[in-house]
Amino acid sequence: MRARQGDWQVGLTVTKSVLRSWFPPLMGLRVLCLACGGGQQGPRACSGAQVTVFDNSQQQLAQDRYVARRENLALDTIAGDMRDLSVFPDETFDLIFHPVSNCFVPDVRPVWREAARVLVPGGILLAGFCNPVLYLFDQEKADDGILEVRHRLPYSDLTSISNDERQVYLDEEQPLEFGHLLEDQIGGQLDAGLVLTGFYEDIWPGAELSKYTPCYIATRSVKLNLVEKRVS
């Protein structure tokens, strides 16, 4: 695997790779790949780092173990909910990699609080998430290329649509989705004691909305150390 020689790229969003300048040198780093199962990102971060992939899907984690075995990489996998990282003591990780996935939890603030707790001071959180404008429109019409504003934000598959519409998602075993406000996505990180140091946006290829606006956001944030927190 080329990743072992340091030749790797990973995405937090759909089409763009994360700038290499967003990463510190990986050698010896304790990395948490948060809600990041599936074998795409975790194994690539293994060039010298100690990687833990955390996800609530055993199937996704099995993919990471499969790639790790195939490439002879050391990698831990742990099953759990991204809102509860209590299996990890405070200040366990130097870097958290969190690709688009918090659209699957109704409240994103616990994710930022837990991420901040398990990072060392000065630790880095790289996160991808949906621009909430994605959830303004009637989804069925948007799939047919018609953008009709229908929903108020924040969006919730639990309350913004009818029972019948929700049942279709459940019957198809699709996860329920939540469109969080930027106040919770970005403000939530700041409130958790993280400081933004990087930002970019990305498109959703093929989506009608992408003709007008990027649909995904990526942020780089750093956990404040205690002295900075006290004076702020």
The site for ligand SAM (CB under 6 A) is made up of 35-38, 40-41, 55-57, 60, 81-82, 99-101, 104-105
Q: How far apart are CA 138 and CA 146, in angstroms?
A: 8
Closer to ligand SAM by CB, 63 or 221: give it.
63
Question: Which sign, positive or negative, has the C-alpha torsion 76, 78, 83, 88?
Answer: negative
Taking the mean position of all CA atoms in its chain, how far away is CA 136? 21
Burial level of 4, CB count in 10 A (0-12/13-18/19+)? Answer: middle
Element housing 222 (H / E): strand 216-223
Closer to ligand SAM by CB, 57 or 213: give it.
57
Q: How far is the CB of 59 from ligand SAM (least distance, A)?
A: 8
How wide is the angle at C-alpha 25 spanned by C-alphas 24 and 29, nearest 5°? 90
Q: How far is the CB of 120 from ligand SAM (least distance, A)?
A: 22
Pair 29, 94: CB distance under 8 Å: yes
Closer to ligand SAM by CB, 37 or 154: give it.
37
Pair 163, 224: CB distance under 8 Å: no
Closer to ligand SAM by CB, 40 or 210: give it.
40
Query: 137 forms bridges with which residues in the sheet?
Result: 149
Q: How far is the CB of 108 from ligand SAM (least distance, A)?
A: 11
Closer to ligand SAM by CB, 55 or 202: give it.
55
The pair of three-digit structure tokens given for residue 48, joined into one six-digit string? 């010298």
Q: How far is the CB of 22 from ligand SAM (least distance, A)?
A: 16
Closer to ligand SAM by CB, 62 or 133: give it.
62
Q: What is the largest CA-CA distance in the chain?
A: 53
Q: How far is the CB of 12 from ligand SAM (least distance, A)?
A: 8
Q: How far is the CB of 96 from ligand SAM (least distance, A)?
A: 13
How wide is the angle at C-alpha 47 spanned by C-alphas 126 and 55, nearest 5°? 50
The pair of three-digit structure tokens given for residue 7, joined into one six-digit string? 């030749």
